[in-house]
Amino acid sequence: MMATFELQPGKSELEELAAEYWQKTGEKEHELEKAAYEAGAAIRKGDYSLANLEMIVRWKSERVVHYLIGNSEETIRQALAVAASPASTVRSAVDALTSLHGIDIAVASAILAAIDPERYMVLDVRALEALGHARHDVDFYEKYLAFCRQVAGSGAIKPQGELPGPTALHALERALWEWSRCHAEQSVGV
């Protein structure tokens, strides 16, 4: 099955949606996201610790954090080394992370986005809805990334330099998420 994507919001709406996302999320979410991107930067610099992995996982899925202790320090170090390597393919990075106890593709994508926000973005249900999709696997994630990189690279959205993950790709993620949230609110009359 070939994955196709259709941007639901107009390209002209993306900047405003990304800004609305940040304005509407709470202080706790802001702090978690900032800590996640700081941990991602530390991993990028070679600090492959459980503490850094935990900060990123806490940002995306608090309920998964307790599973991390089921992984040895060495297993975590090896997985993060592969994930952080610029030479790794999307598949090898995702496979390394999903080999960890408790990490699925959605959480793996969040870890990758925090480590390298120029290359990856989070595979999020709301962002997928804004692209006309719902479920995913690694092949789907590769196609999703390629499409999103193309949209971000087209100049349709600018990096939000003052926010965590200051890239056009992450700004696009925020815009897609916000479009989905607004679309859901309109559907239920909120």
Domain-located, residue 5: no
In a domain, 146, yes or no: yes
Is the pLDDT at 16 greater than 60? The verdict is yes
Residue 85 falls inside a structural domain: yes
Q: What percent of the chain has pLDDT over 90?
A: 72
Residue 25 burial (C-beta neighbours within 10 Å; 0-12, 13-18, 19+): middle
Q: Tell me how far apart the alpha carbons of residues 26 and 173 are, in angstroms, rounded to a whole number.
A: 17
For residue 4, being part of any structural domain is answered with: no
Quick check: is 6 in a domain?
no
Q: Is 75 helix (H, G, I), strand (E, B) or coil?
A: helix
Residue 3 maps to a domain: no
Residue 157 in domain: yes
How far is the C-alpha of 163 from the C-alpha of 54, rounded, in Å? Answer: 21
Chain length of the chain: 190
Would you say residue 145 has pLDDT above 70? yes
Amino acid at 166: P
At 87 the pLDDT is 97
Residue 18 main-chain phi, psi, to 5 deg: -65, -40
Domain-located, residue 143: yes
Q: What is the mean pLDDT of residues 152-172?
A: 93
Task: Please enumerate in sequence order all residues whose Cβ is within 8 A of that of 100, keeping only pairs 6 or more positions apart, or say none.
Answer: 68, 71, 75, 76, 79
Domain that holds residue 157: 11-187
Q: Three-state DSSP class for 115?
A: helix
Question: In the prediction, which pLDDT does 113 show?
Answer: 97
**Would you say 83 and 96 are in contact if contact means Cβ atoms under 8 Å apart?**
yes
Give the total number of structural domains in the chain.
1
Buried b or exposed e, range 33-68, using 16+ CB within 10 angstroms: bebbbebbbbbbeeebbbebbbbbbbbbbeebeeeb
Q: What is the pLDDT of residue 39?
A: 98
Q: What is the pLDDT of residue 190?
A: 46
Mean pLDDT of 31-45: 97
